[in-house]
Structures are given as C-alpha cells and as structure tokens.
Amino acid sequence: MNLGRGVSLVGGATTKFGVRAATWAEIAQEAGEALFRSMPTLTSADVDSLFVGAAEPERFAFQSHVAPFVAEQLGLAPRRVVQRTELACASGQSAIRSAYAAIASGLSDVAVAVGVEKMNIPSMAEANTSMACVMDRAWDGAHGATAPPFFAMVAQRHMLEYGTTEEAFAAVSEKNHTYANSNPNAQFAEKTFDRAKLGRLPVVAPPLRLGDCSSMTDGGAAVVLVAEELASKYTDRPVHVRGTGQYADFHNLANAGSLTDWVGLKHASREAFRSAGIGPSDLDFAEVHDCFTISEIVEYEAIGLCEPGEGGKFVLDGRSSIGGDVAVNTRGGLLGCGHPLGATGIAQAVEVFDQFAGRVPSARQVPSPEWALVHNLSGSANVHSVMIYQGAS
C-alpha cells in the first residue's frame, strides 16, 4: 500500500435513483452530465481514464463492452484507459479501487469512475432470475439461494446467537429511511417509515420484511479521482484516499463459515485501517452496505465499531446516528436510496465527497468530519471492499 503517489477524490454526483423511465445508456449519460455540471473546472479533455462499475448490463440491458460505450455516452472518447469492473453488488467500489491503482501506479492522472445499473426492465421475472447468477449458478442460484434467503439466514442466526430483535432491524431501516428524506436522489426520498409501520410490512424471507430489504433500482453515479498534486485544480475541499482493503472469502455457500462473523470484512477493514494508520474509533462517518438491515448490524461488529453481538444494541442506542459514535449511512443507505448494483459503491463515495464539502442538507450533515469509511460488499457477503478517506483539515 502507498507505494505509488497519493490519490484524491475531487467531485461526484448521482442521478435520481428509482424506477426510471430511462434506458441503461440514458442513465449513464445522466450521471456524466450531473458530474460535469457539479464540477465547473473539469473539462472532458482533462479526463484520461474511465472505469465503469456495472454488475449485469449483459442481462439487464443486453449490452456488453460497456466501458467504451459509456465513454461515448459521456463525451469521453477517445481515452487512454477504459475498463469495466464487475464484482456483482461491489462493482462500483471495485471501479474506484481500479482507478486508485491506475493513478497510484502512473497509468492515469485524472480518472472518472461511473456506476450504472438498470434493474427495472419489462420482464421483472428475467431481472429476478438474473440475480441468481451472482451466486454459484449450479449449486446455489439454481436452488433459489439468492440474496433475501441468504441474509434471512444471517438474521435468524444473529437472533439465535445474540438475542437480536426485529426492533433492532427496524431501527436500522428507520434511521436510513429518515436520512433518505433529506436526499432528493434517494429512491424513497418522499416516503416515511417509522418502526411501527415497518413492523406491519409483508415478510419477504423471515424474519426480514419489505422494509428490511433494499430494492431493485435504476440509477447511476460518477466520481473523479486524481493524482493528489492535481486536486487543487478541481476543488478546494479534496478528499484523500488514505487506506483500502479488500477480501474475498468463499463463493459456494457450502464453503461459508460462520453466518454472523464476517471474517472477510474483518480482514478488509483491518487492512484498510492499517494502511490509513487509524482505527475504528477515529471514524466520523461511514457508508456501509445495508443491502438488508441485518447486514448493517453485522458490519458494525466486523468493522469494530462495537463488540460481536452488540450491533442491535448499537443502533437502538443511537450510536450509529449523527451525534452518536459514528454516523452511518447518512445518504440513506441502500435501504433508503435503493440499490442499483454497480452504482451503489460510486454513490457511497459521492456522499463522502459531499459530506466533507459541507454541501449536504443540514438534516444529514456530519459536523466537522475528518475520517470516513466506505464498505461495499458483493454476493452472499463473500467479498468485502473497504476504503478510508480523510478530508482536508
């Protein structure tokens, strides 16, 4: 780590997330337009590289070879480095890590990372079936072991081992949906969910109810990363990449270890903390992958924000809210914003930039932050990607 030069995040923007009357290509274009509009000093000629995070455009949109495709949609052709990264639900942060490595190693100076997914398609049966190929198709996907049943098993096991309650799950959902109310680009920006209402929603996979699950969402997001010495051209509030870690564990569910002890996330976050030279208690805010409410609870524990088994109490006590130990998922999380697979990791980084820039609505602004962590996972929580950012002091 840190053998190459420093890398900074200097801007970002997202499209509206939701069920969009727009094609995959139009969403990509909209993300690019939002990015350039938000960064008056960025010209297309400055950008030498494009990294596209997308999980399944081949299935959702019958479009492969998406990197040069998006380059053209954004007016970014020709370019030196153009590449798409696929890591299922973590494709977005995978694109950011690729941009980081390209800049640190000298392949690139100014890189745009774009995440796009269009999941609401004419045949939702086709869309849902396509989600099964994220798993081992023959052993798990074909038998229906997609995300909701897997995370429901995690929830059941956490309840059994630690006495975690459905109220704790609802507290995660309530918190993240409340923050989403101050994010106009969130899928559920207009909707309110209190714990009582959440407890009356239909069960998807017991004990998880509709409000415990992120949704099938259309959306795009884009960020710019540059060599640290170039950052001042684009912003007076650069955010610096200080650490990163990633860990891939099992893939076939038969090879999974403990459902509630996410070893991969422990390794990824420890590597990220070590490279940044800080610990969990230094964090001011975090974007973590709340694809389901139980995920956020297990993540508190694996990242080291609280002890094993105490994740439910952590959220119920308000320690993951603004004003608590560490503000988690202030943009509204995957629960409030929706989860357009490849766009999520990029949108998390946009929130990091906006928080440090002090440009989010006051209802979700973290006061004077210095350190932030972003966690993006994929599949059955079998791959974990973590980045640590430091704002300009």
Catalytic residue numbers read 89, 339
Does 287 interact with its own copies (rule: CB under 8 A)? no
If you compute the radius of gyration of the chain from its CA atoms, what whole number of angstroms results?
19
Beta-strand (E) ranges in 252-299? 285-287
For its own copies, the closer CB: 124 or 363: 124
Residue pair 273/280 in contact by the 8 Å Cβ criterion: yes
CA distance 158 to 210: 19
Does 21 interact with its own copies (rule: CB under 8 A)? no
CA distance 365 to 354: 9
The binding track of 232-261 with respect to its own copies, each residue x by CB under 8 A or -, is ------------xxxxxxxxx--x------
CA distance 89 to 135: 11
Among 13, 31, 47, 88, binds its own copies (CB under 8 A): 88
Residue type, 281: S
The binding track of 327-366 with respect to its own copies, each residue x by CB under 8 A or -, is ----------------------------------------
Structure token digits, residue 186: 């969130």
Q: Strand, coil or helix: what is 176? A: helix
Length in residues, the chain:
393
Least distance between its own copies and beta carbon 298 (Å): 17
The stretch near its own copies (CB under 8 A) out of 8-16, 127-135, 231-239, 346-354 is: 127-135
Does 114 interact with its own copies (rule: CB under 8 A)? no
The binding track of 135-174 with respect to its own copies, each residue x by CB under 8 A or -, is xxxx--x---------------------------------
CA geometry: angle 364, 367, 372, nearest 5 deg: 85
91-110 residues near its own copies, rule: CB under 8 A: 94, 97-98, 100-102, 104-107
- Residue 300, classified by CB atoms within 10 Å of its CB into exposed (0-12), middle (13-18) or buried (19+), is buried
Structure token digits, residue 52: 């596209």
Contact positions toward its own copies, by CB under 8 A?
1-5, 25, 50, 55-56, 58-59, 61-69, 71-72, 77-88, 94, 97-98, 100-102, 104-107, 130, 133-138, 141, 244-252, 255, 263-264, 267, 271, 378-379, 382-383
